[in-house]
């Protein structure tokens, strides 16, 4: 028998999921070596946010065999670190998320790791909080966040000395090594299992809600009219409970998107960053005369904000803009209270955060991409990533949190409105004051989605071999290849004359290359002209690399 056929048959024989078992058996029976080779060309690896991939049979997909191997490998890792380890497990509303969570709980409990599972769908930040609240050795959140509906994922947090942060090297490699041992030496249908795992008590969820509600400090405007969408995810219930705790008026819901549905029927891509993702929310806002829109991604660890301009045209704010406004809001409060600490962002986020930190007497730190780095910084007051991730309450969890970020944004909004102006007037004045204080800054991104991952490598190799000397009309003043720095990461940074910056970075969760653009100017108009010129130049450049 061809080796890949043998590997596939061994996998199918262990699979307790009828759908993926039959899917694989059909490929074997049809002798579809090409497809089977693709399915078993490697294993899903821990990336920026743990395991993530398509729901399909084989070692390159998310399925019950792979999840069981991952659970057993993680259990072995935890048992080596701790004589009596524990784990908490959460899950979203995607296909098989509850099944993967239950498999993980049964295997953990069977192997000697005390396991507790969430009583129902809850956002990723609730699970991250539970790791710390319950002093668990680890946490698993079964979610693919904002990925397409055909994907699922397995996000891992570690307790003990990691204090509830996401996994980082060398632990990711150590866990992967244990998973590989399990895959090579144990059949998953022979792994010990137990149904004696527990359920995370409601008081843990209630504590998270109370801590998130405590972020709000402003006077409440009972007449505030705003729209919320959960993007078919699991944020609605927790957000509404948090607002009720505050006594804050509820948002007007986008009904079609506020009930969990893993098929994401009303969006082509369930990511609030994507064009068109907020179309229904904008239509609802226009219909009811709302002042702004807040949105979570499907696992509610991100926040998107949309506002209308003077002409009534709605637009989603860039993640850097929201991050900087929240940072300034939080930093001014810290300054008034005499608090010292850190404002942090990933290196692909706006360099303006350093200016905010300096102006308010706080420290600024820049990390590699991912809240697995930001969340573990000591003395953190606020952290963010331009990809709509914000940590406004570091005492609660060490991960981005779309629920408490909404509460913080509402706190900012009502602080502004307390000055007696309309929201549109107040927000416009806040933007102008920020620009006057820190300069005009504009951010954008080019996202190159690929089917052939080698295209990303070809683009980066081309840029490395012949680095840009100018982009549009701007001279490149310096260039940094972070494979050659202490960061040891596949990131290329170009600093241009005029205070502009361009960064090339492959996504850690999706098959795409991200190019981050940040420009500066005396006015927003100047910064926008610069970013459009640089973007157009880069898009033409990319067209020539197949």
Residue 520: partners with Cβ closer than 8 Å, 6 or more residues away: 439, 440, 441, 442, 498, 499, 500, 527, 530
Task: Determine, yes or no, domain membership for 429.
Answer: no
Q: How far apart are alpha carbons 386 and 12 in whole angstroms?
A: 41
Q: What angle do CA 514, 144, 452 make, to 5 degrees?
A: 45
Task: Determine, yes or no, domain membership for 54.
Answer: yes
| Known active-site residue 16 | no
Task: Determine, yes or no, domain membership for 134.
Answer: yes
The crossing angle, in degrees rounded to 10, of helices 423-438 and 402-417 is 100
370, 390, 420 - which closes a domain: 420
Task: State the total domains in the chain.
Answer: 3
Q: How far apart are alpha carbons 422 and 308 in whole angstroms?
A: 13
Residues 385 and 403 in one domain: yes
Q: How far apart are alpha carbons 287 and 289 in whole angstroms?
A: 6
Question: In the prediction, which pLDDT does 2 show?
Answer: 72
Question: In the prediction, which pLDDT does 419 show?
Answer: 64
Task: Determine, yes or no, domain membership for 425.
Answer: no
| Residue 279, SS3 per DSSP | helix
Q: Write out the two tokens for 205.
A: 């969820």
* Set 145, 349, 426, 443: catalytic member: 145
Task: Determine, yes or no, domain membership for 133.
Answer: yes
Residues 293 and 228 in one domain: yes
Task: Determine, yes or no, domain membership for 258.
Answer: yes
Residues 365 and 460 in one domain: no
158, 179, 200 - which closes a domain: 200
Radius of gyration for the alpha carbons in the chain, expressed in angstroms and rounded: 24
Per-residue pLDDT of the chain (546 residues; tens, 9 = 90+): 579 999 999 999 999 999 999 999 999 999 999 999 999 999 998 765 689 999 999 999 999 999 999 999 999 999 999 999 999 999 999 999 999 999 999 999 999 999 999 999 999 999 999 999 999 999 999 999 998 999 999 999 999 999 999 999 999 999 999 999 999 999 999 999 999 999 999 999 999 999 999 999 988 888 889 999 999 999 999 999 999 999 999 999 999 999 999 999 999 889 998 889 999 999 999 999 999 999 999 999 999 999 998 788 899 999 999 999 999 999 999 999 999 999 999 999 999 999 999 999 999 999 999 899 999 999 999 999 999 999 999 999 999 999 999 999 999 999 887 666 777 788 888 988 999 999 999 999 999 988 888 899 999 999 999 999 999 999 999 999 999 999 899 999 999 999 999 999 998 777 899 999 999 988 889 999 999 999 999 999 998 886
CATH of the domain at 184: 3.40.120.10
Return the DSSP state at 251.
P
Contact of 463 with 457, CB cutoff 8 Å: no
CB-based burial label for 486 (10 Å; 0-12, 13-18, 19+): exposed
Q: Which domain holds residue 175?
A: 3-200
Q: What angle do CA 378, 384, 389 make, to 5 degrees?
A: 125
Task: Report which of 300, 266, 23, 375 is spatially closest to residue 146, judged by C-alpha positions.
Answer: 300
**Pairing verdict, β 512-521 and 440-449:** antiparallel
Query: Across 357-499, where does the E strand assignment appear?
Result: 363-367, 380-385, 389-391, 440-449, 470-471, 474-481, 492-496
Residues 240 and 344 in one domain: yes
Residues 237 and 377 in one domain: yes
Task: Report which of 140, 144, 95 is spatially closest to residue 117, judged by C-alpha positions.
Answer: 140
φ, ψ for residue 513, nearest 5 deg: -100, 130
Q: How far apart are alpha carbons 407 and 16 in whole angstroms?
A: 43
Task: Determine, yes or no, domain membership for 16.
Answer: yes
Question: In the prediction, which pLDDT does 116 show?
Answer: 98
Which of 532-537's residues contact partners 24+ apart within 8 Å by CB, and which partners?
533/472, 533/473, 533/474, 534/471, 534/472, 534/474, 534/496, 534/500, 534/502, 535/444, 535/446, 536/472, 537/471, 537/472
**Pairing verdict, β 492-496 and 500-506:** antiparallel
Residues 180 and 302 in one domain: no
Residues 17 and 146 in one domain: yes
Q: How far apart are alpha carbons 261 and 17 in whole angstroms?
A: 21
Residues 354 and 501 in one domain: no
200, 224, 256 - which closes a domain: 200
Question: In the prediction, which pLDDT does 90 show?
Answer: 98
Residues 299 and 392 in one domain: yes
Residues 510 and 404 in one domain: no
Q: Does the N-terminal peptide bond of residue 307 adopt cis geometry, omega within 30 degrees of 0? A: no
Q: What angle do CA 49, 278, 122 make, to 5 degrees?
A: 45
CATH of the domain at 493: 3.30.310.50
Residues 535 and 511 in one domain: yes
Residues 137 and 255 in one domain: no
Structure confidence by residue, pLDDT tens digits, 485-534: 998 999 999 999 999 999 999 987 778 999 999 999 888 899 999 999 99
CA distances from 487 to 95, 158, 367 (A): 36, 22, 9
Q: What angle do CA 347, 350, 355 make, to 5 degrees?
A: 105
| Residue 504, SS3 per DSSP | strand
Contact of 201 with 28, CB cutoff 8 Å: no
Q: How far apart are alpha carbons 546 and 533 in whole angstroms?
A: 22
Task: Determine, yes or no, domain membership for 428.
Answer: no
């Amino acid at each position: 028998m061809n080796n890949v056929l043998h590997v596939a048959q061994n996998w199918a024989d262990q699979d307790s999921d009828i759908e993926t078992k039959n899917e694989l058996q059909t490929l074997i029976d049809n002798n579809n070596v090409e497809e089977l080779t693709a399915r078993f060309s490697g294993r899903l690896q821990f990336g920026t946010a743990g395991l993530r991939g398509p729901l399909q049979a084989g070692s390159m997909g998310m399925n019950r065999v792979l999840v069981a191997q991952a659970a057993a490998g993680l259990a072995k890792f935890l048992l080596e670190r701790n004589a009596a380890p524990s784990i908490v497990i959460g899950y979203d509303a995607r296909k098989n998320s509850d099944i993967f969570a239950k498999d993980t709980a049964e295997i953990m409990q069977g192997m000697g790791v005390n396991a507790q599972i969430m009583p129902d769908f809850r956002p990723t930040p609730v699970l991250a909080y539970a790791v710390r609240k319950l002093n668990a050795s680890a946490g698993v959140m079964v979610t693919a966040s904002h990925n397409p509906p055909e994907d699922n994922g397995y996000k891992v947090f570690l307790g003990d000395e990691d204090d509830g942060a996401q996994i980082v090297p060398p632990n990711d490699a150590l866990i992967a090594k244990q998973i590989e041992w399990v895959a090579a030496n144990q059949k998953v249908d022979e792994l010990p299992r137990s149904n004696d795992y527990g359920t995370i008590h409601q008081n843990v969820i209630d504590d998270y809600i109370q801590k998130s509600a405590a972020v709000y400090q402003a006077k409440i405007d009972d007449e505030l009219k705003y729209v919320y969408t959960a993007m078919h995810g699991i944020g609605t219930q927790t957000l509404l409970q948090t607002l009720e705790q505050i006594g804050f008026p509820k948002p007007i819901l986008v009904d079609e998107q506020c009930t969990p549905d893993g098929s994401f029927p009303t969006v082509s891509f369930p990511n609030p960053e994507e064009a068109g993702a907020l179309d229904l929310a904008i239509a609802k806002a226009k219909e009811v005369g709302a002042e702004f829109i807040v949105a979570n991604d499907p696992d509610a660890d991100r926040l998107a904000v949309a506002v209308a301009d003077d002409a009534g045209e709605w637009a989603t704010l860039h993640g850097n803009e929201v991050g900087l406004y929240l940072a300034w809001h939080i930093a001014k409060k810290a300054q008034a209270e005499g608090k010292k600490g850190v404002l942090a962002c990933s290196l692909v986020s706006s360099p303006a955060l350093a200016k905010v930190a300096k102006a308010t007497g706080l420290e600024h730190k820049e990390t590699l991409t991912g809240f697995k780095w930001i969340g573990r910084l000591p003395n953190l007051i606020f952290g963010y990533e331009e990809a709509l991730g914000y940590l406004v309450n570091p005492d609660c969890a060490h991960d981005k949190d779309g629920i408490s970020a909404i509460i913080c944004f509402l706190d900012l909004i009502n602080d502004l409105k307390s000055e007696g102006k309309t929201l549109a007037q107040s927000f416009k004045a806040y933007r102008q004051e920020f620009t006057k204080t820190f300069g005009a800054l504009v951010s954008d991104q080019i996202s190159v989605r690929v089917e052939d991952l080698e295209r990303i490598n070809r683009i980066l190799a081309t840029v490395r071999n012949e680095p840009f000397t100018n982009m549009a009309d701007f001279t490149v003043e310096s260039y940094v290849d972070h494979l050659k720095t202490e960061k040891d990461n596949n990131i290329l940074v170009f600093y241009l004359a005029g205070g502009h910056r361009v960064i090339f970075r492959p996504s850690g969760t999706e098959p795409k290359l991200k190019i981050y653009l940040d420009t500066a100017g005396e006015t927003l108009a100047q910064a926008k002209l610069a970013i459009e010129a640089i973007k157009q130049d880069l898009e033409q450049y990319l067209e020539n690399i197949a």
